[in-house]
Amino acid sequence: MATQEIPNLKSLLASRRGGPSRGRGRGRSGPGASHEDKEAMRDNAIRNTDQDAAGSRVSCVELGYLHDPYARLFASQPSTRRLPLLNRGTYVRTSAIDHLVDKFLTTYPDSPKQIVSLGAGTDTRFFRLQDGYPESRIVYHEVDFAVNTVAKLASIRKHPQLHTKLGAIEPPRTPNEASYYSPTYNVHALDLRSLASSSDGVPIPELPNLDPSIPTLLLSEMCLTYLQPSTVSSILHIFLTRYIAVPTPAALVLYEPVLPNDAFGRTMISNLSTRNISLPTLNAYPELSDQRARLKGYGFVDGYKVADTALIWREWVPKAEKDRVAGLEMLDELEELELLLRHYCVAWAWRDGGAEGVFSKAWADVQE
């Protein structure tokens, strides 16, 4: 693995612990900032998006949108209540992916399943699945920057509610441990971009316990969108041909923004750029139809579907649940919510060779 791709892990970690790195980042972004500095700053900005997501999750949990007793254990910032429309959006995002994962796990429930969460950050899904599907045989993998996995493992070590979920396996003990391996839960410290530079024939980094033979769901919740389309393509190629080669059933679930070219999309791009965040796949796959074509191109020949989160809220969420969620907070910003939800999509695509394949069966009735 190309360690030089992860610049100054320790110093980045220190700056994180020392408080918001924003001021420091700004200083370094001046005209004299070197290319490497800018790169590091961009990387740092992307790593920090994870705490944004964690905070949004906590806000949702505290207001009753989501049931997730683990969210708060991973959030490093004091919880701030998000605006109702952001809570609604986080709810839709999380419950949409939960829905697809649920369909996967409950299809052929006795057979083993594997989930690889790319850029997992502080995501709590593994722990929630332990509670929700105690009988399932899940092998769960998370991949992220080492700076994020170190923090995550530290949280797990700190909270018994978390490390007791790891079963009989010893909880991680070493400070600054960046990876963790067990038959059920694995945390891999890996800069995904390092995979993109691996060419055929060159050994790829070992991902311990990644089983090449069981149906595998790749998850990218606002992760691959931060990478160049060609890099994303290479990463997925490695996963789909080398880690999880044909004929093992494999699928991908993406959550990312769409519609960069209207007024809202242009404003989003411009606002995020002031935080040093760019979203290369947003421009590369502007419309839902582009997302579909993209997924097919990755080799998910058996299905490639996409829905924006506005449709998901309308069509996926049952009436009673909609009423429950709508009753949690008065939501005045309906037009803005609709705009926001239309600019994010969930895409799901799979290859499993035939209608009896696990993904074809699981997702046959999921509406796009």
Partner 1 sequence: MSIGGSDLDRAITQLRACRPIPENQVRELCHKARELLIEEGNVVGVDAPVTICGDIHGQFHDLMELFRVGGDVPDTNYLFMGDFVDRGFYSLESFLLLLCLKVRYPDRITLIRGNHESRQITTVYGFYDECLRKYGSANVWRHCCEVFDYLALGALVTGAATTLEPSEGPIAENINIDNLPDSDAEIEIETLNANGEIMYRYARNSDSQSTSAASQANSNPASSSPIAPTPSRTGAAGTGATSSANGSNKNDTGAILCVHGGLSPLIDSIDKIRLLDRKQEVPHEGAMCDLLWSDPDEIEGWGLSPRGAGFLFGADIVKCFNHKNDLSLIARAHQLVMEGFKEMFDSTIVTVWSAPNYCYRCGNVAAILELGEDGSNAGFVRRSNGERGGGGGGWVLGSNVGPEGNPTAENRRLSSVLGDSMQRARDGPGRRYRVFEAAPQDSRGMPAKKPAADYFL
Please enumerate, as own/partner, the contacts of 316-325 that have beta carbons within 8 Å and a separation of 24 or more. Answer: 316/95, 316/96, 316/99, 316/366, 316/367, 317/92, 317/95, 325/65, 325/88, 325/91
Tokens at 185, concatenated: 């839960």
Any known ligand binding at 329?
no
Q: Which of 257, 260, 303, 357 binds partner 1 (CB under 8 A)?
A: 257
Provide the terminal-to-terminal Cα distance of the chain, rounded to the nearest Å: 38
Specify whether the CB–CB gap between 5 and 193 falls below 8 A.
yes
247: preceding bond cis by omega (within 30 degrees)? yes
User: φ and ψ at 141, to 5 degrees?
Assistant: -125, 140
- Residue 263 binds to partner 1 (criterion: CB under 8 A): yes
Query: Which residues within the stretch 143-202 sit at the binding site for partner 1 (CB under 8 A)?
Result: none
Residue 181, CB half-sphere, CA atoms under 13 Å: how many? Answer: 8
Q: Residue 282 CB, nearest distance to partner 1 (Å)?
A: 11
Q: Can residue 320 be called a binding residue for partner 1 (CB under 8 A)?
A: no
Indicate the residue among 138 and 340 with the shorter CB distance to partner 1: 340
Question: Is 93 annotated to bind ligand?
Answer: yes
Of residues 69 through 128, those in contact with partner 1 by CB under 8 A are 80, 82-84, 86, 89-90, 93
Six token digits for residue 83: 């605006």
The answer to whether residues 120 and 145 touch, using CB atoms and an 8 Å cutoff, is no
Is 266 a binding residue for partner 1 by CB under 8 A? The answer is yes
Of 326 and 364, nearer to partner 1 (C-beta) is: 326
337 assigned to a ligand binding site: no
Contacts of 279 (CB under 8 A, 6+ apart): 225, 226, 256, 257, 260, 269, 272
Cα of 157 vs its chain's centroid, Å: 22
Pick from 6, 12, 53, 349 the residue near partner 1 by CB under 8 A.
53
When binding is defined by CB under 8 A, the residue of 275, 284, 296, 299 that contacts partner 1 is 275
- Nearer to partner 1 by Cβ, of 335 and 356: the residue is 335
What minimum distance in Å lies between the beta carbon of 230 and partner 1? 22
Contact pick of 36, 131, 321, 332 for partner 1 (by CB under 8 A): 332
Number of chain residues interacting with partner 1 (CB under 8 A): 41
Annotated binding site for S-adenosyl-L-methionine: which residue ranges?
A: 93, 119, 191-192, 221
Residues at the interface with partner 1 (CB under 8 A): 49-50, 52-53, 55-56, 80, 82-84, 86, 89-90, 93, 222, 255, 257, 262-268, 271-272, 274-275, 277, 326-327, 329-336, 339, 344
